[in-house]
Structure 1
Amino acid sequence: MLKLQENELSYPFSEEDLETTLLMPSYRVELRNATHGKDEFLNANIVNDWSQLTWKDIGRPYEVKTVAKERTLWEKENQERMPVKTSWEYFNRSFHEWFVKDVPTELDEKMKALTGHVKQFRFGEVKEAIGDLVKLRLWNYVHRIEDGIWDPRGKRALFEGLDVQKPKILFLGAAEGYEAMQLSAMYPGAEVVLVDYDEYCKTHRFEEFPESYPFLGANPATGSTKVWYKNQLNIEYVVDDIRNLKYGREFDIVLSVGLLEHVPDDHKPEIMDMHRRFVKPGGYIIMTTPRDQLKSRLYYKVMADVMNHTYRELMNIQQMGLYVYESGFDIVRHCYIKVHNGIIAKPR
């Protein structure tokens, strides 16, 4: 296994490192392919006929009720409900702080602090330190050990086999743009437009995404596997409200990750229309949402102060798919991977 510091080389990995995995201080490098076991779809294409599925059969999504303290305090101070854009701004800053942590170093520091509080019988500090340590250990497991948030093997399995050449890709609510970068590596020559209405996503979440993170993709010259990096990809970042975009139906792929579950049912058709508005005839819609499973409910409970500034639901693949199908899309592929549902669809 390679032992590199992230700042040693701009491109520390190559095709010679395929089937390698390595823990960095903030994330996992994953150059293994999705060939077996839990890194493939855990269950793919489980619904044979979406027209026969009803909400009575599957129930409604689980709404996450635990709210971040920052939101509660803001609403108390301002005597109003936090606006949606403000809630996203708080969330993006909070979430990004965790992505850039040196987790092993911070775990060591938290443990030392906890030990010191115990020795001095500071029981209030002990309780707070235990809470901080639990969150950090959970983050370490979900993001670094399991690689559940980026999930490169699962995402590559979801994205493979699309009938596109040098596609134009639009990512709605892009944040750091991870999934569009992975798609761009798999379909070389792609033109990517990332869109988010929080400028912090462009200036911090995207700009601070590690230059040395390797994306496993394709070599257009040979048809073999190639390792790609962020600054080798053709990416434009647009800071704007999705509703203000002037693009037409010109994109081969319109992508969103964790967008559909952030609005109640009354607004879900609008979210789906945002995807339809920009995709070419015959083009693909790709969407993911967090899965409704016990460990996900626990995660959002423990990590509420990090994650829960916005409205949020957890849904299963049948629920997600029915929203997509009822909005006028045919589902080409559906699955769930580590912690996400995934759907590829085309407008009817």
Structure 2
Amino acid sequence: MLQTAVHRPVALGKTEMKPSYRMDLRQYTQKEYDKFVKVNTVNDWSQVTWKDIGKPYEVTSFSKEKTEWEEKHGEILPVHTSWTMFNQSFHQWFSKDVPADISEKKDAFFHSLKSFNPSEVKTALGDYLRIHLWNYVHRIQDGIWDPRGKRALFEGLDVKKPRILFLGAAEGYEAMQLSAMYPGGEVVMVDYDPFCRDARFAEFPAAYPFLGKNPRTGGDKVYYKDAFTISYVVDDIRNLPYGAEFDIVLSVGLLEHFPDSMKAEVVEWHRKFLKPSGYIVMTTPRAQLRSKLYYEIMADVMNHTYRELMTLEQMGLYLHENGLDILKHGYIKVHNGIVAKAK
């Protein structure tokens, strides 16, 4: 018998750190809006040039899992395999009881000091630093899911009960946030790694609250994963059978995984599924010192495939040059965010 999840009431305006994530049901004031999203820093994208802004920063520190595979097989790690490795590695971190893991890694580090083995000490220290960094980025700062920042980016779309297509969906967080803000529609999530559907999405915490709108009253309402109409397609984006039928086409951290020779194709993946009046919403990791340090320290967790860090201007110019009209652009903590339409 199918059981429906039972959700305890949560207080609007509340934020609380859970063992593996932060819940955040706070609204933002105008001052906080400026903090989370600074929109429209470029007035005329036709005046932005690559000569002025330079090319993205390419991350060149890779996971040990990737380098060991390539040494063993004598070839470059296949793209599909690299994504499987990344998704499995990343999901382990989302699933952690972080306070318990911090305590465990701390004990392991102090135990390693007794061994007088530099290699063992280095490994234990690295594990301890990584869990602290994850705790800060994901639980304290909520910089990965970032509900307030992404709500600020997503607000103001002229849609009702939208059909949303999420390309490279992973656990699907952002599409669920959009569905809470614009309720009553449906979501199609797409990823070509079945692990994303069967583990990352399937195990997304049922108790995670999304702040959205009540269509009957216009007031705030809290939604949970089981309230959304979602189908999950495991396939290559290039094989999708859909036409121009979606109100919103979304990707989060997709564009930066492709070199310049493929950027136009990646943008086209978004445009081809979009209704004439629809919106393209995209984010990429920001090119800033703390992001560079993050991907260096977390290389074993994050860096299984090609990755760039972009400035907002670099991301926007890729979209502008490939036929998108940028409506809104801004910074969201560690991410760039852009809302666009097809020209």
Q: In 2, Cα distance between the equivalents of 1:127 and 1:10?
A: 44
8 Å Cα contact 1:40/1:153 also seen in 2: no
Q: In 1, Cα distance between the equivalents of 2:272 and 2:71?
A: 38
Structure 2 residue runs of 5 or longer lacking an equivalent are none
Answering whether residue 338 of structure 2 is matched by residue 347 of structure 1, we say no
* Counterpart residue number, 2:236: 241
Q: Measure how far apart 1:40 and its partner are.
A: 4.1
Q: Measure how far apart 1:33 and its partner are.
A: 1.3
Q: Report the residue type matching 1:265 in the other structure.
A: D
Query: Which of 12, 15, 36 is the matching residue for 1:18?
Result: 12
* Counterpart residue number, 1:145: 140
Q: In 1, Cα distance between the equivalents of 2:86 and 2:34?
A: 28
CA shift digits 1:40-75 (9 cap, x unpaired)? 434210000001111011110000010111110111
Q: Measure how far apart 1:230 and its partner are.
A: 0.1
Query: Which of 2, 21, 28 is the matching residue for 2:22?
Result: 28
Q: Report the residue type matching 1:63 in the other structure.
A: E
Superposed, 1:41-190 pairs within 5 Å as: 41-190=36-185
* Counterpart residue number, 2:255: 260
* SS of residue matched to 1:46: coil
8 Å Cα contact 1:84/1:310 also seen in 2: yes
Say what the alpha-carbon RMSD is for the aligned residues: 1.2
CA shift digits 1:290-327 (9 cap, x unpaired)? 00010000000000000000100000110000000000
In the alignment of these two chains, the number of paired residues is 338
Q: In 2, Cα distance between the equivalents of 1:42 and 1:281?
A: 26
* Counterpart residue number, 1:202: 197
Q: Measure how far apart 1:331 and its partner are.
A: 0.3
Query: Which of 298, 318, 339 is the matching residue for 1:323?
Result: 318
Q: Report the residue type matching 1:62 in the other structure.
A: Y
* Counterpart residue number, 1:287: 282
Q: Measure how far apart 1:186 and its partner are.
A: 0.3
Q: In 1, Cα distance between the equivalents of 2:37 and 2:232?
A: 33
Percent of counterpart pairs with the same letter? 64
CA shift digits 1:12-54 (9 cap, x unpaired)? 343xx01111111100010111223377434210000001111
* Counterpart residue number, 1:5: none
Q: Point out 4+ residue stretches in structure 1 off by more than 6 angstroms.
A: none
Q: In 1, Cα distance between the equivalents of 2:81 and 2:92?
A: 17
Q: Report the residue type matching 2:6 in the other structure.
A: S
Structure 1 residue runs of 5 or longer lacking an equivalent are 1-8
Q: Measure how far apart 1:207 and its partner are.
A: 0.3
